[in-house]
Amino acid sequence: MSPKDNKPSSPPPPAAPPAKPAPKNPGFVTLNIDGKEVTAKPGTNLITAAKTVGADIPYYCWHHRLSIAANCRMCLVESSTSPKLVPACQTALQEGMSIRTDTERVAEVRRSVMEFLLLNHPVDCAICDQAGECKLEDYYQRLDHKPSRLEGGKILRNKRKVLGPLVVLDQERCVQCTRCVRFMDEVAKEPQLGMFARGSEEYIDVFPGQQLTSNYSGNVVDLCPVGALLNRDFRFRARSWFLSTVASVCTGCSRGCNTYVDFMGQDVYRYRPRENDAINQSWMCDQGRLSYKPLNLARVQAPSLGRADDRREVTAAEALLRATAQLKAMAGTAELAVLVSPSCSNEDLLAGLTFAKDALGVRHLYVGGRPDGAADALLMRADKNPNRKGLAWVSAGLGLSLEPFAALLKAVQAGTVKALYVLGAEVPVDEAEAARTLAQVEFIAVQATNVTPLTETADVVLPTATHVEDEGSFVQEDGVVQRVRRAFPPRGSTRGHWNWAVDIMREFGFPLTYESARDVFRELSPKVPELASFGWDSEAPPLKTQRGLQPLATGADGRPPGYREFGAPRVRGI
């Protein structure tokens, strides 16, 4: 051993541990943080416990779902159990211990760690995507706020190392917290990242000849407390403080990972995973992360009539009249079929299926939806439809049976289907081929969010809002009902599936007064026992999802939320 060995840093373990004091609150650990008594479950992290009494201990490397590294040394606090400062992330709670997070000594060590971290940090916040949501920035404002005392150059490293399809690394901005390395090792279980070299020259990288190809690579971008790991899809597209955020659910597969939708105006810029212990913990897969793109691209924006070259945009009233005239004639006959997608929300299904049953008089539904895809052990599921379970519940509640998509194709080829009403234009087979087959049907009315071959062959296209443009709820694979929040009003002339269904039912002569998805759920969900107990309002994620300044509330000044003109952002609190 060398003399540095375990002498100061590893005090010898005590020969016989002193008798533990009797716990003040049996079953719990009672300790003192900044003079305030804290009672916590044994095993609680000190950082978490301190938050309950308002002591916000800063940290970089700690993450509640990763192993403890204790290498950033930002969370050092004074403890009655040690003459040294101890890292809060690593310190086990002990009965009767006393922690100080507010002393001069702690403040000084935080300031010095900030200074150390900024020594070789390029401070290129002006061109950094992390600016605005960067721990270095936040803690500098809060804890350091002093100019650098370092003279001369900084260590130069690779500023744009492409690690994989989704992630690019700026090695100069890295603070060596190893969160990304630990995530890939422990959660993704694909150890594709490593820490190379030694001392201040060390850097994160992929191993030689390899790439960060994991389906969970996007999470390292979220984990990175600074702007070192960046999302290539999002990079240089928006300043984070101009983005508004709303809590939602990923609709990429049946797992239903909880997300934040970051948007500006009526464009979604990215998904970020939202904490949910039961479903996705703190993560989401890359496929789900990129599934926001159809919300912006190739949207059906206006109602239209006529197939192929005869297509023309019309008003909503005209489209509704046409659809009503055609469908009413065949209502109640076997010549009318309804195709429904398990990607629609519960409210869409409740209204749409009520329409199908009461107005169109069908007894069974053909199930469309996206085809199955790749799956993995962590979060991604083969079923790419977010609400198959909801469809099963709602159809059963309304007494409708479900038929596979292949049965519809067969019936069309047999010529027994003369009219088709489509709720969600996704099909589980090759879209172009399905559209060619379905084109044999004399009349097709489609409610669709995006342009697909099926919308091209439809006689009536009703443009539909996506899940970020309307309130709603989805049932994920385990039967958990999850609310989504509306980010911004529907694009163009789009309306929710439920809204079209309600409108067309009015044309059919049903006096419905539903004004919102909430009304639909309140009125129709009692028919579905599984949904009846769901607290549509009480179980919704909070509207205020970020601390600090908030964008203007919806429509506060007559503009869509998140809408920004050039110039200073209008935020509450300034």
Partner 1 sequence: MLPAAEKVITRNWGKPDSWTLEAYRANGGYRSLEKALGMTPQAVTDEVKKSNLRGRGGAGFPTGMKWSFVPKDSPKPKYLAVNADESEPGTFKDRYILENDPHMLLEGVTIAAFALGVRTAYVYARGEFKFQAERLQRAVEEAYQAGILGPTVLGKPFGLDVFVVRGAGAYICGEETGMLESLEGKKGWPRLKPPFPAVVGLFGSPTVVNNVETIASVPTIIERGAAWYAGLGTEKSGGTRLICLSGSVNRPGVFEITLQTTVRQLIEDERYGQGMPAGRKVKAVIPGGSSAPVLAAHEIDVELEFEALKKIDNMAGSGGVIVMDDTTCMVRSLWRVIRFYAEESCGQCTPCREGAPWAARLLRKLEEGRGEPEDLEILLHVAHSIAPFPPIGLGNTICALGDSVALPIHSFVARFREEFEAHISQHRCPFGDRPWGHYGALRA
Residue numbers at the binding site for partner 1 (CB under 8 A):
1-13, 15, 68-74, 76, 83-85, 90, 108-109, 112-113, 115-117, 119-120, 149-152, 175-176, 195, 197-202
Number of C-alpha atoms within 13 angstroms, CB side, residue 12?
3
User: Does residue 69 contact residue 178 with C-beta atoms inside 8 Å?
Assistant: yes
Q: Quote the least distance from Cβ 74 to partner 1, whole Å.
A: 7
The sheet carrying 364-367 orders its strands as 312-313, 304-305, 460-463, 443-448, 419-423, 336-340, 364-367, 401-403
Q: Quote the least distance from Cβ 39 to partner 1, whole Å.
A: 24
Q: Which is nearer to partner 1, 40 or 69 (CB)?
A: 69
Q: Quote the least distance from Cβ 70 to partner 1, whole Å.
A: 5
Q: Which is nearer to partner 1, 152 or 535 (CB)?
A: 152
Q: Which two tokens stand for residue 375?
A: 């799956």
Q: Which two tokens stand for residue 353?
A: 């299926």
Number of C-alpha atoms within 13 angstroms, CB side, residue 145?
5
Q: Quote the least distance from Cβ 30 to partner 1, whole Å.
A: 22
Q: Which is nearer to partner 1, 71 or 276 (CB)?
A: 71
Question: What is the spatial distance between Cα 556 and Cα 574, in angstroms, rounded to a whole number?
Answer: 16
- CA-based angle 178:180:183, to the nearest 5? 110
Residue with tokens 């005090």: 11
Cα dihedral: 277, 279, 282, 283 (round 10): 160
Q: Which is nearer to partner 1, 65 or 154 (CB)?
A: 154
Q: Quote the least distance from Cβ 195 to partner 1, whole Å.
A: 7
Q: Quote the least distance from Cβ 108 to partner 1, whole Å.
A: 8
Q: Which is nearer to partner 1, 202 or 358 (CB)?
A: 202
Q: Which is nearer to partner 1, 152 or 573 (CB)?
A: 152
Q: Quote the least distance from Cβ 69 to partner 1, whole Å.
A: 8
User: Does residue 177 contact residue 204 with C-beta atoms inside 8 Å?
Assistant: no
Q: Which is nearer to partner 1, 197 or 298 (CB)?
A: 197
Longest dimension (CA), the chain: 93
Q: Is 112 helix (H, G, I), strand (E, B) or coil?
A: helix
Question: What is the spatial distance between Cα 415 and Cα 212, in angstroms, rounded to a whole number?
Answer: 51
Question: What is the spatial distance between Cα 461 and Cα 436, in angstroms, rounded to a whole number?
Answer: 17
Q: Any bridge partners for residue 365, and if so which?
A: 402
Q: Which is nearer to partner 1, 181 or 446 (CB)?
A: 181
Q: Quote the least distance from Cβ 207 to partner 1, whole Å.
A: 13
Q: Which is nearer to partner 1, 5 or 565 (CB)?
A: 5
Q: Quote the least distance from Cβ 454 to partner 1, whole Å.
A: 55
Q: Is 120 left (phi over 0), alpha (psi -120 to 50) or beta?
A: alpha
Q: Which two tokens stand for residue 134?
A: 């960067």
Distance of CA 81 to the CA centre of its chain: 41
